[in-house]
Chains A and B, each alone.
Chain A
């Protein structure tokens, strides 16, 4: 009896980002329009595991998810031990464009969740010509901090337990246990200080409230999908973005939380597939 082997492949790309050499892990499945997936803070590309196994997606889209530097199986750059990791809007955009260029992606769709949803707004604003469409999951322009992120990285508290414990309630209450705990496991596996460093972008540097009105959906369509149980990016924060971006298309997803593609893939695909069908039809 042979094992079920998933129809995706994982490889490493050697890419210069910010003048430094990086070894970046990425997975992909399917063929067609490139769909570049951006994971949440403190996690990795495994969040898109179900999407890569979904024939309804992969028949028309080449799904690609890379682990951000410092995350998952991507390494931090040489000399990392001398600095605390800290993500900024500038460095985040740079790495996404670097990966897209390195993989020679032709007008990909960018789809990001949480910090990936926030940076999706930056991509829509600053680089609309490079993308066929942009999908922001759990995307808001700003989040008002509600806990001290210092607790995520200190030697006298277990980082894995704290990071996963901090986000556990962001998984929707109806999510299947198997996917809830897979999602939390990724948080437990994050490197020390990485989730905290990502949240610098999410909660401090990446406040885009005064700029979202400049997004032009005629240059690049913008789709925003948000789960109703997300209190980090609640539906009203996504709607607030859409209210300022003519043409932005919003879907609020009942029952889902902050990690729709990972916490409840079956429910999520019901909302994502119609968006992908629109993008495919407009090719």
Chain B
């Protein structure tokens, strides 16, 4: 899912405004699968997947594949609707440059919620991004 969101993120006016000072590499782990997002000025330059052995990153977000799948449903169930909801349920680990994450919450929440929009006909119920305009 995350390997398909670059264009959506890069054309989302809200996220581009919120993320204009974000320059970093984010590792997202979904069970055994890894996604490495390289972000410059709020734009996703690349998404690498695979084993990514000894990969460098600034920020890590780790949850099970099942947790992410439930998080990415177009209308997630209570407890799966926000990154902080996952933190509350102890289903998500965030490590590394937490300052980067906390200072840019709207951006990172919006990016991680973006796969909700990949479902045909869905309107993302995002708590962060407007969800219906680029």
Residues of B close to A180: CB separation below 8 A: 127
A228 to B78, Cβ gap below 8 A? yes
Closest 4 CB pairs of A and B: A169-B82, A165-B105, A173-B125, A231-B85
Residues of A close to B102: CB separation below 8 A: 151, 157, 162, 165-166
Q: Mark out the residues of chain A between 156 and 212 whose CB falls within 8 Å of any chain B CB in the assembled complex.
A: 156-158, 161-162, 164-166, 168-171, 173-174, 177, 180
For residue B63, CB closer than 8 A to chain A, the reply is no
| Distance of A174 Cα from B125 Cα, bound (Å) | 7
**Shortest beta-carbon distance from A280 to chain B in Å:** 32
| Distance of A174 Cα from B74 Cα, bound (Å) | 11
Known contacts being A161-B105, A165-B109, is A147 close to B87, with CB within 8 Å? yes
Instruction: Name 6 interchain pairs, CB-CB below 8 A, sorted by A.
Output: A161-B104, A165-B102, A165-B104, A229-B78, A229-B81, A231-B82
**Shortest beta-carbon distance from B60 to chain A in Å:** 16
Residues of A close to B54: CB separation below 8 A: none
A169 to B109, Cβ gap below 8 A? yes
| Distance of A157 Cα from B107 Cα, bound (Å) | 14
For residue B128, CB closer than 8 A to chain A, the reply is yes
| Distance of A68 Cα from B75 Cα, bound (Å) | 35
Q: Mark A227-268, 1 if CB is under 8 A from B, else 0.
A: 011111011000000000000000000000000000000000
Considering residues B79, B102, B106, B126, which has the most beta carbons from chain A within 10 angstroms of its beta carbon? B102
The one of B89, B98, B103, B109 that contacts A168, using a Cβ cutoff of 8 Å = B109
Point out residues on A near B: beta carbons under 8 Å. Answer: 144, 146-148, 151, 156-158, 161-162, 164-166, 168-171, 173-174, 177, 180, 228-232, 234-235
Interface size on B, residues (CB 8 A): 26
**Shortest beta-carbon distance from B112 to chain A in Å:** 11
| Distance of A158 Cα from B99 Cα, bound (Å) | 11
How many residue pairs link A and B with beta carbons under 8 A? The number is 78
A146 to B105, Cβ gap below 8 A? no
Known: A162-B105, A228-B78. 15 other contacts (CB 8 A): A146-B87, A146-B90, A148-B98, A157-B103, A165-B102, A165-B109, A165-B128, A166-B105, A168-B109, A168-B128, A169-B128, A170-B84, A173-B76, A231-B78, A231-B85
**Shortest beta-carbon distance from A158 to chain B in Å:** 7
A169 to B106, Cβ gap below 8 A? no
Considering residues A162, A229, A235, which has the most beta carbons from chain B within 10 angstroms of its beta carbon? A229
Known contacts being A162-B102, A166-B105, A234-B78, is A147 close to B127, with CB within 8 Å? no
| Distance of A173 Cα from B84 Cα, bound (Å) | 14
